[in-house]
Amino acid sequence: MAVAAVALTYTAVYSFLSLWRHALYNSSMYDLGLFDQLIWNMSHGRFFESSIKGFNYLGDHCSPVLVLFTPLYWIWDDVRLLLIFQSAAIAASAFPFAAVAAEVLGNEVAAVIMAAVFLLQPNLGYVNIFDFHPEILLVPAFTFAMYFARKGRPWAAVACALFALTVKEDVAVTAACFAAYLFFTSSRPAGAVLFCVSAAWFGVAMNVIIPANRPTGAVTGYLYMERYAHLGKSLPEVVQNAVLHPITALAGSYDHWKAVTFFRMFLPTGFLAFAGFPVLAVAAPVMGYSYVSAYLPQFDVRFQYLTIAVPFIMYAALDGARRTVDLLDRAGARRGSPRLRRPVLVWTVPAVLAGLNLFSVYWIVHSQLQVNTFKAPHNLAEIKEAVALIPSDASVATLNMTGPHLSHRRALEFAIAFEPHWYHYERLGLPRYSLADYQLFNTADRRWTRNGSLPRIKELKERHGYAIVYERNSVVLLSRMKGTDAP
């Protein structure tokens, strides 16, 4: 009952925060609008169609798990469903983790505290507030997988890991590491089967599914290899250089923010996770290839790339907490001190970790307030007025922060190419600018765009036959005049 109260509180608080952010037009077309349109399209029979990407989403990432969201949209066709589901999915992880904690620490109160520690992990808080990402499903998937492995049910653990494989192609690396963990700690047959399936799925996803869904004439190879160009020109070369020259790879990939992220991932565990070998070893590869990436957000606590590591870090911290309790208990016994005995220690250590996590929550709130996550734009009323003028079946091009409020349509694009993925347009031969029927701009918002909106508005009017249908307080809505053909 106490764990359920913790989970429900978490779901309610983080659902409120993410819905509040969305209502203030601070959510993003990358990624909330992207996944909302994908699932909405599939609920209307259009398999992984994405006008935001400009090609079938399976040509970017192999995420068949998104199909499972389609029936939910038949029940409630609303982008807010994803935000609430995300909070609930994370919260569900508290139950298996608390069950293992109760056995490991031998104390129900300590188990409840550790469940709260799990949910307060800073990466989960940041990612939960920041739009929606299917990677969040990896948290309950691997939390339950570890639970079943600890309970002596290796095949149930394999089933959870197989589900995780459907979330994204690179999950196969972590699933293979978890297979090794199963092989050496629980069941050799289960570990061997999972390892083989993970390797086979990775090969199929990378060499068959993703290339088959690329635009005609697009470059071959993994789209995100540019992030590792400093280590080599191909995946085998990158892996070879990273394995044979690890010091050079780590040093050449260093950025001070990566050190901050490393600190913030492990401080909430009191660094006890490092005493949790071999569980922590399962997360080592994903943290390694995320660290050496030249794309800084990939090793940033505020983004989704490290979320897959959280269950293993927290289980490792749980094992580290038990070893700490054992150590202090023996030390107290030698000194004859009743104040340092196990009945007190088993809830004192988790309580200290909870305190560290409350400090991490302060980090989250402080940083989100700094970037105005919960502050409405000065022209929010005008943005809503302009959005209301756009027909529901019209094609639309807009900026990143207004996209999620227009994503229940088949044709939605960026009015100006999305800055962090500029190279995608070059490699895939995609147009950098849209000629949709309606073009919505907030000229006061320069986030995520290479240039401001004013030059593009001028070009649309002078060269492409668009007319302004709404203009007020930096908000500009243009519509292509009837009879005008795009060149």
Alpha carbon distance 393, 332 (integer Å)? 71
Helix (H) / strand (E) containing 397: strand 396-398
Q: How much is the pLDDT for 339?
A: 58
CA-closest candidate to residue 13, choices 119, 113, 137, 138 = 119
For 75, the token pair is 């029940």
Q: How much is the pLDDT for 432?
A: 82
Q: How much is the pLDDT for 351?
A: 83
Return the ∠ at Cα 116 (arms to 161 and 181), rounded to 5°.
30
**DSSP code, position 409:** S
Question: Which residue type occupies 424?
Answer: H
CA-closest candidate to residue 310, choices 50, 72, 126 = 126
CB atoms within 10 A of CB 3: 21
For 360, the token pair is 């991490």
Q: What are phi and psi of 359, to 5 degrees?
A: -65, -35
CA distances from 280 to 26, 161, 177, 314, 422 (A): 35, 16, 10, 9, 35
CB atoms within 10 A of CB 397: 25
DSSP conformation letters of 464-487:
S-EEEEEEETTEEEEEEPTTPPP-
Alpha carbon distance 249, 247 (integer Å)? 5
**DSSP code, position 207:** I
Helix axes 342-370, 94-105, angle to 10 degrees: 150
The answer to whether residues 224 and 420 touch, using CB atoms and an 8 Å cutoff, is: no
Q: How much is the pLDDT for 486?
A: 46
CA 120, 122, 126, 127 torsion: positive or negative? Answer: negative
Alpha carbon distance 145, 457 (integer Å)? 52
Q: How much is the pLDDT for 482?
A: 61
CB atoms within 10 A of CB 199: 15
Helix (H) / strand (E) containing 442: strand 438-442
Return the ∠ at Cα 80 (arms to 11 and 133), rounded to 5°.
75
The 3-state DSSP class for residue 418 equals strand
CA distances from 165 to 56, 169, 304 (A): 19, 7, 16
Alpha carbon distance 128, 151 (integer Å)? 29
Cβ neighbors of 368 (< 8 A, separation 6 or more) are 129, 374
The answer to whether residues 169 and 183 touch, using CB atoms and an 8 Å cutoff, is: no
Helix (H) / strand (E) containing 13: helix 2-23
| Beta bridge mates, 136 | none
In tens digits, the chain (487 residues) has pLDDT values of: 899 999 999 999 999 999 999 999 999 999 999 999 999 999 999 999 999 998 999 999 999 999 999 999 999 999 999 999 999 999 999 999 999 999 999 889 889 999 999 999 999 999 999 999 999 999 999 999 999 999 999 999 999 999 999 999 999 999 999 999 999 999 999 999 999 999 999 999 999 999 999 887 777 777 888 889 889 888 888 888 888 888 888 888 999 989 989 988 998 898 999 999 899 999 999 999 999 999 999 999 999 999 999 999 999 999 998 998 888 777 777 776 665 567 777 778 888 888 888 777 777 777 776 667 888 999 999 999 999 999 999 999 999 999 999 999 999 999 988 877 777 777 788 888 899 999 999 999 877 776 679 999 999 999 999 999 999 999 999 999 764 544 4
Q: What is this structure's pTM?
A: 0.93
How far is C-alpha 450 from the chain's CA centre? 24
Helix (H) / strand (E) containing 440: strand 438-442
Taking the CA atoms of residue 351, residue 310, residue 134 and residue 169 in that order, the dihedral angle to the nearest 10 degrees is: -170
